[in-house]
Chains A and B, each alone.
Chain A
Amino acid sequence: MGELLCMKGITKRYGNGVLANEHASFSLREGEIHAIAGENGAGKSTLMKILCGAQQPTEGTIELRGKPVRMTSPKVATSLGIGMVYQHFMLVDELPVYLNVFLGVEKRRGLVLDKQAMIAQTRALCEKYDMPVDPLALCGDLPVGLRQKVEILKVLVRDAKIIILDEPTAVLTPQETEQLFKQLRILRDARHTIVIITHKLREMKELCDRITIMRHGKTMGAVNACDVSEQEISELMVGGSVRLKVAKADVTPGEIVAEMKAVTVPGSGRPRLDGISFIARAGEILCLAGVEGNGQQQVIECLTGQIDYRGSVKVLGKEVRGQSVRKIRDLGMAHIPEDRMTMGTNQRASLHENLISVDFDRNTVAGFLKSRALKARSEKQLKAFLVKGEIQTPISMLSGGNMQKVVVARELSQHPRLVIANQPTRGVDVGAIAFIHEKLIALRDAGCGIVLVSADMNEVFSLADRIIVFHEGRIAAEINDVANTTEQQLGRYMLGIDQMKREEAAQ
């Protein structure tokens, strides 16, 4: 197999002096699935943006089929058969699928759009690559998994031979991920070449032929996926050995820190939560597992006082209903939200301002913030949580992993008695994941109760002391013996194939 594409000595220096790529090189063989792996901020995305013309390299050359090319704009890259599927979808929700697919390259007959031809071609593509998308459906009505397929169709319709996907599985459920992998394999077999940007070790092993590993803007070399173990990949990524298994001491659960009794939250159609009851205790990590959209989110919203509910929700002994977020927090609740961009951080503020948001009003003299003391504290927190940045750095300058560490630093520094962690490590690099896990375990060992929502099986199994599985707003299973449960069994509960009987759950 010859080389299809080759990037040599790519250096990218941004205007603010940040060096995103330094003499990075990358080569692609025709008909392979190639992973670009690395921690957040390692320069994966920048390298791929250069490849598809969205960014210009400061130095370096790109060769396509042996001929040097210059990707001066995404249009040039498209005409050379390179297409990118971005992590944040760029679709017009109000338009049907087929118009989204052909947006910008519409088929016309005279002055009018040739709708029939576009619909037919979209349908043909869907059939060819086994994608269950209805060309006439409105994009806004589609679930995330299908919206991603529309993005892929957009690239295919522009005759892309090289398809780059930026963290395609970050937003998908395990089942959708499985399906996506199937389609990517079909595309590969149809002589397409696929690049995926990812930091999930398992995906690389499972799906990819070769892996290019990046660290600090440099390429650490390309390896065949079958030749390396997950452990080896992660060592190459972070440059040291990382423990994937977390050591946990045995702790006997203590008092009840959160309790739900017959909680119902109405939704359009079936209720979002349908008579949910459970308790969470101090000194244990209770994991709420389930495919996204089965009620875990609503449980979090109830516990943190964001939505109204029927039934009874108690946090640290107090009924949540009618209490302000401040009061619930004052009881000793900390909350690591799922969405760190809009909820967990203020992107327009500095690290310091982001770190003091939950208790600034307890550190004042006559209304004035105790600026010096708070700044010293923030500095200490940044150090303790290994955040790369100064207190005055705007948080928007940080990589995703560092941003999440700021959120975790703020929440866990409050001496909480109950931590609500919603996808605390989603989109975070391996090093930061291990770090956040350690912090959560340490809190648990110190007698803090932790309610964890996670879609990551690895995380569930390495952290949970107990698992409650949600399916369609109900509890499908309550697993006390985590060590003797297999991923397959958990998966069956999550999909609603199996249901644990009441007695079993009670026992």
Chain B
Amino acid sequence: MKSSILKSLCTLLIRLTLALAVAAIVLAGACILMEGSLEDIMTAFFLGPLEDEYAIAEILREMVPLIFTGVAVSLMVRCGQFNMFVEGAFFGGAFLAGVLAPMLGEHFLVTPIISILSAAVAMGAVGYIPAKMKSSLGVNEFVSSLMLNYIVYWVVMYLIHGVAADPDYPNATLYLEDLMRLPLLQEDIELSSNLIIALLAALGCGVFLFKTKWGYALRMTGDNPTFAVYSGIKAKKYVASSQVIGSALAGMGGASFLLGNYYRFQWASLPNYGFDGFVIASIAGNNPYAVPPAALFLGYLRVGALQVSRLGDIPNEVIYVIQAIIIILFGAQFILSRRRKEGGKHA
């Protein structure tokens, strides 16, 4: 048992090293094309994120949405559900928090927490639509949730251009006073306490998944629905509830992120954090406990990329290429290991 944990840790390390090596190679290639200084770029990419406390705080800020969406996706994938509504729920949750917090007024901690919980409940409720369609009618949750993202997006766009908008500030919600937001942990580097909520969410989901009867039933349903039904587990219930919980977590994430790092909601497009959730989940092997380290890794890469783009030699697009390659590296490994598992069972 111990050796198997050690082994999987080793493979993870190897993959991380490989990912970084690939990043370095692509960067070097871009560097030659763009005639930049290789040394400067490498230093910025690998050491830039650790340069000073501002850079480190930037990594920690990056981690928050990644942890929330990563945990949400992990939970749903564990139940065999590929629900894309994480994206829409994150967006919708942020918007709701942006609207609710000013309505509730300035109450230390109370306002942000009520806003976050309401966003979670509301997004969980919306997430019930594809969930129920899947569990009762067999509608593919992947497609329906993808469509739902657009519905939520355009509804928010409509509201933000009208009723929910700040009359003095076009296409945004009202200004968030300090007491409506989550308190800062570190004033000078603007490190918000939403990181703590994110870590608690990851921990809570891990406990839920591995220690409770619901988590066990959810995992059995995801691994093998036939086995679950045969054993007397109500598989449909878990198929639906995993998606509702996942959506709620994503909504919670959007709300926490907004109330921690922004002063009003004014996103004009879907932020893609939901899709990042799938990357994080596959790096973490759908294990909630492994989500924060995975988010740390991706956050580090992103801040490294930011540092490189500040040098001005390398266009931002190269960074996206590197990200894509890393995703393929992890995604492919994820799929391979699954197939190997299934292929090996007849041995």
Contact = CB atoms under 8 A, between A and B. Distances in A.
A325 B345 CA distance: 27
B341 A357 contact: no
A462 B220 CA distance: 36
B20 interface: no
Given A346-B223, A367-B212, A368-B211, A337 B234 contact: no
B213 A396 contact: no
Given A349-B220, A357-B227, A396-B341, A369 B212 contact: yes
B227 A326 contact: no
Contacts of B233: 326, 357
B292 to A, nearest CB: 23
Interface string B334-347: 00000001101110
Nearest to B221: A346
A369 B232 contact: no
A344 B216 contact: no
Contacts of A337: 230
Contacts of B219: 349, 353
Given A324-B234, A329-B232, A347-B345, A353 B216 contact: yes
B341 A326 contact: no
Contact of B226 (A328, A342, A364, A371): A342
A356 B231 CA distance: 9
A501 interface: no
A460 B268 CA distance: 71
Given A88-B346, A369-B211, A396-B345, A342 B224 contact: yes
Measured as residues with beta carbon below 8 angstroms from the partner, the interface class of chain B is 20 to 34
Interface in A320-344: 324-326, 328-330, 335, 337, 341-344
Interface residues of A, number: 34
A371 B216 CA distance: 11
B163 interface: no
A369 B213 contact: yes
Contacts of A368: 211-213
B214 interface: yes
A91 B228 CA distance: 29
B135 to A, nearest CB: 15
Interface of A: 87-88, 304, 324-326, 328-330, 335, 337, 341-349, 353, 356-358, 360-361, 364, 367-369, 371, 390, 392, 396
The 8 closest A-B pairs by CB, nearest first: A326-B232, A357-B231, A348-B223, A325-B232, A346-B224, A346-B227, A396-B345, A329-B232
18 contacts: A88-B346, A324-B232, A324-B234, A325-B232, A337-B230, A342-B227, A345-B227, A346-B223, A353-B220, A357-B227, A357-B231, A357-B233, A358-B231, A358-B232, A361-B217, A364-B212, A369-B212, A396-B345
Given A325-B232, A368-B213, 16 more contacts: A325-B229, A330-B232, A335-B230, A341-B345, A343-B227, A343-B230, A346-B224, A346-B228, A347-B341, A353-B219, A358-B231, A368-B211, A371-B211, A392-B1, A396-B341, A396-B344
